[in-house]
Structure 1
Amino acid sequence: MMESMVIFHRCRSLAATDAFYIQQLGLTLWHTQPGCHIYDSGYGYLGFVEAADFELPAYSCISFNCTDCAEVDRLYEKFKGMKGITAPRRHPQFAVYSFFIQDPDGYTVEFQKIVKEGEQ
């Protein structure tokens, strides 16, 4: 039986990745192996493998779900000034309120509240 999930991405530097995901975002380092770190978000795992031949994929978005829109706004205020940040807004196509930043490798990181029918 499956117990959890890890999504893996490649990165240039585990030290820079640790600084971003642990120190800035507050994730916990759950497991390490040579050249690989796995972070625990509390609701799933995010793994990074250090690669000398790193290339950013054409599209990738790492999304963290927030409890409500106020939490999205609070995190926006916390991360204001970070690379690639966008102001929080309601997505024009999907029922999502979110903002985006970039991690050290250029991955898009989203903080979102999926807005269900009847919610503001």
Structure 2
Amino acid sequence: MQSMVVFYQCRSLAATDAFYIQQLGLKLWHIQNGCHIYDSGYGYLGFVETDHFELPAYSCISFNCENCAEVDRLYETFKGTEGVRAPQRHPQFAVYSFFIQDPDGYTVEFQKILEEGEQ
């Protein structure tokens, strides 16, 4: 195996491009008819434009950050966006993160998975 792609439906590839390329800085890796695949550097996200969009009951796209400072830096980019709360340590897991919504309502998480003893 070389890599993996996780596919999602979207309403508009233009809005999806604006979010994942312009705001998050991902690279557009591949284009097919009605489908864009973005390279995160560690895996791929594919979005297929559809007129019959249905948001799944729950889905979370989690990006792993190098450190807590990177989580904080990304938070500064989205601070003030509706529904975005400051990063915090998860009460159950050793994770420091915050969440946003993409243009289609998918939950997107920016996280640092903490090592034992890391704050």
Normalised to the residue count of structure 1, the TM-score between the two structures is: 0.96
Q: Tell me the residue number matched to 1:51.
A: 50
> Percent identity at matched positions?
83
Q: Secondary structure at the match of 1:70?
A: helix
Cα deviation, 1:2-41, whole Å, max 9, x if unaligned, reads: 0001000000000000000000000000000010000000
- Once superposed, what is the RMSD of the aligned Cα atoms? 0.8
Distance 1:28 1:86 in 2: 26
With over 3 angstroms needed to count, the CA separation of the structure-2 counterparts of 1:104 and 1:83, relative to structure 1, is farther
Q: Secondary structure at the match of 1:37?
A: strand
Q: Aligned ranges for residues 17-36 of structure 1 at < 5 Å? A: 17-36=16-35
Q: Tell me the residue number matched to 1:9.
A: 8
Q: Tell me the residue number matched to 2:79.
A: 80
State how many pairs are aligned: 119
Matching of residue 63 in structure 1 with residue 37 in structure 2: no
Letter in 1 for 2:58: Y
Distance 1:62 1:42 in 2: 14
Distance 1:43 1:10 in 2: 21
Structure 1 ranges of 4+ moved more than 4 A: none
Distance 2:17 2:9 in 1: 13
Runs of 5+ unmatched residues, structure 2: none
Distance 2:89 2:50 in 1: 35
Cα deviation, 1:50-82, whole Å, max 9, x if unaligned, reads: 110001000000000001111101110112123
Runs of 5+ unmatched residues, structure 1: none
Q: Tell me the residue number matched to 1:99.
A: 98
Q: Secondary structure at the match of 2:111?
A: strand
Normalised to the residue count of structure 2, the TM-score between the two structures is: 0.97
With over 3 angstroms needed to count, the CA separation of the structure-2 counterparts of 1:29 and 1:83, relative to structure 1, is farther
Distance 1:26 1:82 in 2: 18
